[in-house]
Structure 1
């Protein structure tokens, strides 16, 4: 690798050093020292972001589109070094790092294209009706406007696509909002090199340096200071339910409460309907095992629970077991995640009603799959069996009838995804399930697996709580820009005072 991290924070165009440091924990190579974040850095970054908003928030769509494309170009130029440092820090394979890098730059370019079109502005105009009786109507124009500086928390499981220049950052910058990122300590080197790419794009595009800052590491005090800073107007977060809920509560308790857009996890249940199970049980079980273990199960769309009729449960479980037994040991993202996975496996296996078909042999930072089976009635009686275990743990819930499957579906909390596996003869049951699943999840699949989230205009990556903290939003796709905009109505405002897009919309 030709690139070596310097371990500093990027604060409004300057690389800043702090005395306190932390060491990275790479899978390969020697640990690196990185400066630790502080409340003072939060203050400096937020003040710079607010100052930058007075120019960036009122910049042209074309200018911001060019900026997003330049960030993508700068990331592409650093691809080889990003792949190396990312692989060293996370243990993710080279192909995954390169693919995620492409997804990151793709998101940036997609948002550039999206804002050039201008449809996201939702421009509306009610012309004045001065002669209307009994009262005249004023000239009314409405459009979406950026909200101000945004805080983004990098995710542990996506060091690129959900981190420094990931979807939250891309959406906020596209909207015209400066961003302050709190980097994840699991991949600080990857965060630093991506921040360098954004910094280079800022200089090339001649933007205010406060448009972007990166604060590395830091304890809970730093995260709390960021979400509570009065200049921050919204927060984007991808992470654990406990951590996200704590930050969500802080946002709500502020003197000026702000929206917290947290994506907090999901078990993504799969409903395997009878005709499909009878016709292709082994195929479905093999596909489930592959999706369940992808990336060591460290995807928020990991399908952790499969609901199967008792008549087909044995064949499905046997086929899943055969596939999972062939899955090699995989490195997890951090020692903490690996430890939490082991604890989750032990806790599930301790249930008297749970039958463990395959026990995980995970040690240190590695993981192997675990497979468990439980009857539907016993699952309903044990609420903790619905909780996400972050890793390759699969739970098969067996049900005796279509009515019991419906009862299971209604019992689920909010999810990112729900999946139906069905054949033609399953249509009636699927029709009964659809209204329930629509209330439970942001994305519903048929005859597929939820791992793999397309970045597009139509994608919804969110869902009712606890999948996310705002059921009306998505963290993936172009609709995610709406999180960082608010509607403003202009009444009888002279044309020379209106935003340019309202006067001469393209």
Structure 2
């Protein structure tokens, strides 16, 4: 079978822009993995890795115009959004450069010998070492921050792991340009360019996960696609960790007091959050608990007006557009569901692929679960009207793992602390009085959560993201002079 061409398409029109290359066959994937794996010794130098990450930041900044132009054409996310996302990438590279340089992530522990311990304890020295060459799957909705130059790549390189990226088919040209920037940065600091290699194609992703030299996988995408790869990783003769971010509903609880005190403000914030980027954020609030009664009614009316006025826009590709419209229609047809604003195709002269945001409402007592409790990728959210907090609990009890959960309450409400604790049971990040869209790159950040939010209780954003690409090794009674300097200090 002839390899398929890799095509760059215009997200606004659906038209082909250019052929970037051809999809990688098994031989090409093998070559990319082996080339990357051969750089492991070169990446062992921590100062050199820090220099690489800083050079990568400078490289993407220097090529910002070309990167943003390609990404805007391929994703329709807009120049302002993409400019901010690329700035995040540069910050993230420098952030992980500092982590690599500092070395605290190594977690060095030295236990002196203790003959009196039961059993007697020999001298033990432990630290963390790179897990090996890793595969990173680029995300559709973040052509920079969760793709070739994204957090998985930055944290893996900081850990000392070479990276093979599987480009996303929605932005192949952007992927090639970003990969070239990082590879050139590697050469600039005296490292092999192959510390990062790039492959295209659906089957290439499967071959990548199965490759015996791949030691871990980072993935951001859909539940079906991620679960298929997760199962492949587990079924290998030597199973490997699969760090997948798969799906999240990101529930929001609005109390009656907040609806009465700040209903208009809260409604405006909600609509701005769930329509941001045409609802294509993994942290989009997809289910919102709103009280019954006058205050809740007014909040819903304000949200309905704002949603109806939201500017239509293109989704990332025609397939996602079709899935969004079909998903909205299926949810709107469920028993007890009321359509407040109908999502629909909204073609314009410049954007024939545009869609209009939707808004649905259902009573907590008649919420039948199923699709309403599953993520719908695109600009829609479901308002769930509850009578009392028992109704809230009944809904929350049916939720799976989530990246985020949000509480809009007044600080002096007697049950606020209890609800914060309750939301933390199934979410990796709990927000009070704000909105989940927007994930800061910071040491305390958690961008993960119980399955299906992620496949492991780890984060893909923030300093501890580096831990995914490391494994602990303990050295017992090894003379210090035979060890790395970080481990050789006297016990």
For the superposition of Structure 1 and Structure 2, which TM-score range results when normalised by the shorter chain? over 0.9
2:344 aligns to what? 361
Question: Deviation at 1:134?
Answer: 6.8
SS at match of 2:424: helix
TM-score (normalised: structure 2): 0.95
1:25 aligns with 2:9: yes
1:394 aligns to what? 381
Task: Find 1:405's aligned residue among 373, 386, 392.
Answer: 392
1:231 aligns with 2:213: yes
1:188 aligns with 2:172: yes
Counterparts of 1:439-458 in structure 2, within 5 Å, are: 439-458=425-444
1:482 aligns with 2:467: yes
Question: Deviation at 1:499?
Answer: 1.9
SS at match of 2:425: helix
1:313 aligns with 2:296: yes
SS at match of 2:474: strand
Task: Find 1:260's aligned residue among 228, 242, 257.
Answer: 242
In 1, Cα distance between the equivalents of 2:225 and 2:239? 18
1:88 aligns to what? 73
1:284 aligns to what? 266
Task: Find 2:228's aligned residue among 239, 246, 259.
Answer: 246
Check the 8 A contact 2:6/2:172 in 1, yes or no.
Answer: no
1:166 aligns with 2:150: yes
SS at match of 1:396: strand
Task: Find 1:431's aligned residue among 411, 417, 424.
Answer: 417
Question: Deviation at 1:223?
Answer: 1.1
Check the 8 A contact 1:406/1:433 in 2, yes or no.
Answer: no
SS at match of 2:448: coil
In 1, Cα distance between the equivalents of 2:118 and 2:322? 71
Q: CA, structure 1 residues 339+30, in 2 after alignment: closer, same or farther (shift >3 Å)?
A: closer
TM-score (normalised: structure 1): 0.92
In 1, Cα distance between the equivalents of 2:455 and 2:117? 45
Structure 2, gaps ≥5 residues long: 347-351
Deviations 1:258-301 (A, max 9, x none): 11000112110110011111111111011100001000000000
Check the 8 A contact 1:402/1:429 in 2, yes or no.
Answer: no
Deviations 1:90-141 (A, max 9, x none): 1111111111100011110000011212111111001123x53676431110
Question: Deviation at 1:30?
Answer: 5.7
Question: Deviation at 1:424?
Answer: 3.5
Question: Deviation at 1:436?
Answer: 2.2
In 1, Cα distance between the equivalents of 2:121 and 2:11? 66
Q: CA, structure 1 residues 121+133, in 2 after alignment: closer, same or farther (shift >3 Å)?
A: closer
1:337 aligns with 2:292: no
SS at match of 1:234: strand
SS at match of 1:22: strand
In 2, Cα distance between the equivalents of 1:341 and 1:136? 63
In 1, Cα distance between the equivalents of 2:118 and 2:249? 57
Task: Find 2:361's aligned residue among 358, 373, 391.
Answer: 373
Question: Deviation at 1:19?
Answer: 6.1
SS at match of 1:24: strand
SS at match of 1:53: coil
In 2, Cα distance between the equivalents of 1:137 and 1:465? 39
In 2, Cα distance between the equivalents of 1:77 and 1:134? 60
Question: Deviation at 1:46?
Answer: 1.4
Question: Deviation at 1:156?
Answer: 0.2
Structure 1, gaps ≥5 residues long: 1-17
1:14 aligns to what? none
In 1, Cα distance between the equivalents of 2:253 and 2:300? 14
In 1, Cα distance between the equivalents of 2:220 and 2:435? 21
Q: CA, structure 1 residues 84+136, in 2 after alignment: closer, same or farther (shift >3 Å)?
A: same
Question: Deviation at 1:336?
Answer: 1.1
Check the 8 A contact 1:228/1:251 in 2, yes or no.
Answer: yes
Task: Find 1:461's aligned residue among 422, 447, 456.
Answer: 447
Deviations 1:356-383 (A, max 9, x none): 011012256212111111011222x232
Check the 8 A contact 1:144/1:487 in 2, yes or no.
Answer: yes
1:52 aligns to what? 39
In 2, Cα distance between the equivalents of 1:223 and 1:19? 14
In 1, Cα distance between the equivalents of 2:172 and 2:473? 38
1:419 aligns with 2:444: no
Q: Name whichever of 358-367 and 194-203 sits farther off.
A: 358-367
Check the 8 A contact 2:186/2:193 in 1, yes or no.
Answer: yes
Q: CA, structure 1 residues 231+382, in 2 after alignment: closer, same or farther (shift >3 Å)?
A: same
1:203 aligns with 2:187: yes
Residue correspondences, number: 480
In 2, Cα distance between the equivalents of 1:313 and 1:40? 59
SS at match of 2:248: coil
Check the 8 A contact 2:68/2:82 in 1, yes or no.
Answer: yes
Deviations 1:71-99 (A, max 9, x none): 11111110111111111111111111111
2:132 aligns to what? 148
